[in-house]
């Protein structure tokens, strides 16, 4: 017992666990304020009482969604009340953080930066369909999907695997693959990892094949699900009547432009930090001015366009602005289609993405880290681009970005680890910047949750403020 106490005391002293304790305290504070009284949470909370849960889940598979296990979890968790959801949701966030740490963080002091980046993620996106409905579907599948990769790392590096690892990882794969985007991510990752094993002339473990077959079975279930076809047809009628008129390239363009525009045309701190880390690491690794300029392109773009044009749009909404070029069909020209500048916004987004990928190569050269970082970024982007093939791309709102957000967070951790190894003299200022943004983001989220619980939506809050201002003015 004494040795066990010493072991865990040392873990806290060397900052292995303390960042996660801070994350736990923050999430407990946040979840105490959240109520499940909005959107799908209200409808789904009565399923357990009013229906046979198995028949209901099967009915949903046949008429609405292939997410059988997710639907099952929704009915049980939301039916048992907010306390159960709070406990599991907090546990899933911690599982996500710890799993990322085990996969990518070598210097455990960098767990502080990992936790900060997780806190910067705009968690308010998880309210779009209701806190419970959105987190149980998207956040939980992400956490369990990332967790399922931990055992693969153990297999690849010949680490000790316990029996319960196989059981929990199997359950994690089954649940995570119920969500279409995460299923694609898992299958893509498994394929790459097995190719890596073959190239390294290592034996592919039986559990790798088993997990891969489970994910393929889930994909087949998704593709054959009658409910998905019914839902897509209904969503085309309700929200995107001319969706089928888009060509294949039109849908790719819609998915790509709507994904990249979220980070370039709008100021998002997750992307700003990522872009800054790229610029810093390229500057450290490369002496060429041209390469350093390429490394700075994402930062320059997000500051001049994201922050600058976003501010101009708020002050002068009627002035032609590049960030106004997004429509439900994707990017349109800023002026007209007969002008040479017709596709300038789209070209700009492609240029930024290319500069990001090239800069990653400058950072790591011909190494496995280059391939790892590029794969993480590209599969995260692909998880959102694929939404261009769904008529629910706009109805689903920002919750579909969670997988791309965390691909950026994972890449940021990889970049930060490399910068910290280079003895960068200004790294403490990077730390201050990230921690301060994390604290501000957390308090902004708390304010959002409080106002959301009181006013339900942004429009009610704005009308309330206007009414108070008018009363004050008349007095």
CA-to-CA separations, 352 to 202, 263, 286, 300, 472, in angstroms, rounded: 37, 11, 19, 10, 47
Residue 473 reports pLDDT greater than 50 = no
411-431: average pLDDT: 90
The pLDDT tens digits of the residues spanning 221-269 come to: 999 999 889 988 998 988 899 888 888 988 999 999 999 999 998 888 9
327 beta partners:
330
The residue with greater pLDDT, 417 or 469, is 417
Token pair, residue 176, equals: 């995570």
- Asked which of 71-80, 274-283, 339-348, 409-418 is least confident by mean pLDDT, the reply is 339-348
330 beta partners:
327
The residue with greater pLDDT, 318 or 266, is 266
Residue 129 reports pLDDT greater than 50 = yes
How far is residue 138's CA from residue 391's CA, in Å, rounded to a whole number? 18
Q: What local confidence, expressed as pLDDT, does residue 342 receive?
A: 64
Burial 80-113 (b: 16+ CB within 10 A, else e): eebeebbebbbebbbbbbbbbbeebbeebebbbb
The pLDDT tens digits of the residues spanning 334-345 come to: 444 555 566 788
Q: How many residues does the chain have?
A: 475
Helix locations, 200-225, DSSP H: 206-224
**Are 259 and 389 contacting, i.e. CB atoms less than 8 angstroms apart?**
no
Greatest mean pLDDT among 99-113, 342-356, 446-460: 99-113
**Are 113 and 154 contacting, i.e. CB atoms less than 8 angstroms apart?**
no
Q: What local confidence, expressed as pLDDT, does residue 6 receive?
A: 52
Apex 269 CA angle, 264 and 274, nearest 5 = 75
Helix locations, 265-309, DSSP H: 269-285, 289-301
Q: Grade residue 174 by pLDDT with cuts at 50, 70 and 90.
A: very high
The pLDDT tens digits of the residues spanning 75-93 come to: 999 999 899 999 999 999 9
**Are 139 and 30 contacting, i.e. CB atoms less than 8 angstroms apart?**
no
**Predicted TM-score (pTM) of this structure:** 0.91
């Amino acid at each position: 017992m004494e040795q066990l106490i010493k072991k865990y005391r040392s873990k806290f002293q060397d900052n292995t666990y303390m960042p996660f304790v801070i994350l736990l305290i923050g999430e407990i504070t946040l979840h105490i304020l959240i109520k499940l009284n909005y959107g799908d949470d209200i409808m789904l909370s009565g399923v357990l009482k009013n229906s046979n849960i198995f028949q209901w889940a099967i009915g949903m598979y046949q008429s609405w969604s292939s997410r059988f296990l997710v639907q099952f979890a929704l009915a049980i968790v939301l039916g048992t009340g907010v306390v159960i959801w709070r406990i599991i949701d907090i546990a899933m966030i911690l599982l996500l953080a710890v799993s990322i740490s085990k996969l990518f963080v070598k210097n455990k002091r960098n767990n502080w930066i990992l936790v900060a980046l997780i806190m910067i993620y705009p968690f308010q996106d998880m309210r779009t369909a209701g806190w419970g409905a959105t987190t149980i579907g998207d956040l939980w599948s992400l956490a369990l999907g990332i967790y399922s990769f931990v055992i693969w790392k153990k297999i690849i590096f010949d680490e000790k695997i316990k029996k319960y690892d196989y059981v929990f990882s199997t359950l994690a794969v089954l649940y995570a693959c119920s969500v279409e985007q995460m299923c694609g991510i898992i299958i893509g990752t498994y394929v790459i990892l097995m190719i890596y094993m073959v190239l390294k002339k290592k034996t592919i473990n039986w559990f790798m094949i088993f997990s891969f077959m489970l994910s393929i079975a889930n994909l087949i279930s998704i593709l054959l699900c009658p409910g998905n076809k019914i839902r897509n047809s209904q969503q085309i009628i309700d929200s995107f009547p001319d969706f089928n008129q888009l060509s294949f390239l039109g849908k790719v363009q819609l998915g790509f432009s709507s994904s990249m525009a979220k980070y370039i045309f709008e100021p998002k701190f997750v992307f700003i930090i990522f872009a800054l880390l790229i610029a810093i690491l390229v500057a450290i690794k490369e002496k060429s001015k041209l390469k350093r300029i390429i490394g700075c392109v994402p930062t320059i773009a997000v500051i001049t366009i994201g922050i600058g044009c976003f501010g101009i749009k708020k002050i002068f909404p009627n002035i032609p602005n590049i960030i106004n070029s997004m429509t439900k069909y994707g990017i349109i020209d800023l002026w007209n289609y007969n002008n040479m500048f017709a596709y300038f916004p789209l070209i700009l987004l492609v240029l930024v993405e290319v500069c990001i990928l090239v800069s990653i190569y400058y950072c790591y050269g011909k190494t496995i880290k280059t391939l790892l970082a590029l794969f993480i970024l590209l599969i995260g982007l692909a998880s959102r681009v694929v939404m261009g093939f769904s008529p629910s791309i706009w109805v689903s709102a920002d919750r579909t970005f969670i997988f791309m957000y965390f691909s950026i967070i994972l890449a940021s951790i990889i970049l930060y680890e490399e910068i910290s190894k280079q003895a960068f003299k200004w790294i403490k200022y990077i730390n201050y910047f990230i921690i301060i943004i994390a604290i501000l983001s957390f308090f902004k989220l708390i304010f959002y949750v409080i106002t959301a619980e009181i006013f339900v939506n942004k429009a009610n809050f704005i009308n309330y403020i206007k009414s108070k201002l008018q009363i004050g003015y008349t007095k």
